[in-house]
Amino acid sequence: MRVVFAGTPEFAVPALRAACGKAEVVAVYTQPDRPAGRGRGLQASPVKLEALSRGIPVLQPESLKTQVARDALRALKPDLMVVVAYGLLLPQKILDIPEDGCWNVHASLLPRWRGAAPIQRAIEAGDAETGVCLMRMEKGLDTGPVLLSQSLSIGEGETGGQLHDRLADLGAQVLSDGLGLLRAGIRPVPRPQPDDGVTYAHKLDKAEAKLDWSQPAEALERKVRAFNPWPMAEAVLAGERVRIHGAIAIAAPSGATPGTVLAAGREGIDVACGEGALRVRVLQRDGGKAITAADYLNARRDLAAGA
């Protein structure tokens, strides 16, 4: 079974490994190398690095809309194309090339959270459950019929990064199951997505990371978790801009102006919100590293004394 794999970030690496265990991966498509780091040198994607370590040919077109791109894929004679967080649009003429079509591993329980950031949006919305769908791709954005799916519970206090890793592993397992069936001559039955329950997980924006203390503390706690490790929540705390790595919502008397520090101690820094208070436990000053609230207060004696 000749498989072409398309993916770019770390999330797709476990799925690539799973594909290699069930089929002959004849080529890997990934995004072109991008400038990264302080030196802005070109950096290969995690999927490219994994493919090269396995001796798999790597293709990095800027677009798949050209005749050249179609000819290159057709020359690989793929039975199936597997797409996991690739980042490029697949036109219908590309989708039509593999004999068994194109499969996509998507990190949500479709039709909820179609789009770019399903992991973070699920946490931000307060969902208790999410999962992975193996979907047969069509032209629409994550609209194709679902072939296989697996669900999991979102842990209390779980961050975007932690859920990302669990879903990456689950996605690899679901893909492995699907490829195993196909290799055995069993085609997974496509189930059309229902019209009800469609939501879109819009791409993350750094501007969203700025916390508004007038919002309820529970909403801010979810945002802190969802945006860890990127773009990382930030706020003005007692006059200083900080990034917030860890926080919990707590009950607090109403009436305090949002943004007011209510208490500060080893357990955290309690900040009044529109409803309740947010207890900041781990934070980061400009140019510094993530530290506990207790360590932060050692440098902010004024804050500890005034709270």
- Asked if pLDDT for residue 287 goes beyond 80, the answer is yes
pLDDT score at 304: 65
pLDDT score at 307: 52
- Asked if pLDDT for residue 113 goes beyond 90, the answer is yes
For 143-175, the pLDDT digits (tens) are 999 999 999 999 999 999 999 999 999 999 999
Q: Confidence class of residue 276 from pLDDT cuts 50, 70 and 90?
A: very high
Say how far apart CA 243 and CA 224 lie, in whole Å.
Answer: 9
- 241 CB-near residues (< 8 Å, 6+ apart): 234, 235, 286
pLDDT score at 301: 80
- Asked if pLDDT for residue 306 goes beyond 80, the answer is no
Closest CA to 160 of 190, 124, 199: 124
pLDDT score at 39: 79
Range list for CATH 3.10.25.10 in the chain: 206-306
What is the CB neighbour count within 10 angstroms for residue 114? 19
Range list for CATH 3.40.50.170 in the chain: 2-201
Whether 108 has a binding-site annotation, put simply, is yes
Topology adopted by domain 206-306: Methionyl-tRNA Fmet Formyltransferase; Chain A, domain 2 (3.10.25)
Answer yes or no: are the C-beta atoms of 124 and 206 closer than 8 Å. Answer: no
Answer yes or no: are the C-beta atoms of 242 and 283 closer than 8 Å. Answer: yes
- Asked if pLDDT for residue 302 goes beyond 90, the answer is no
Say how far apart CA 304 and CA 307 lie, in whole Å.
Answer: 6
Whether 111 has a binding-site annotation, put simply, is yes
For 33-92, the pLDDT digits (tens) are 998 877 788 999 999 999 999 999 999 999 999 999 999 999 999 999 999 999 998 999
What class is the 2-201 domain? alpha beta
Answer yes or no: are the C-beta atoms of 171 and 14 closer than 8 Å. Answer: yes
Q: What is the pTM of this model?
A: 0.95
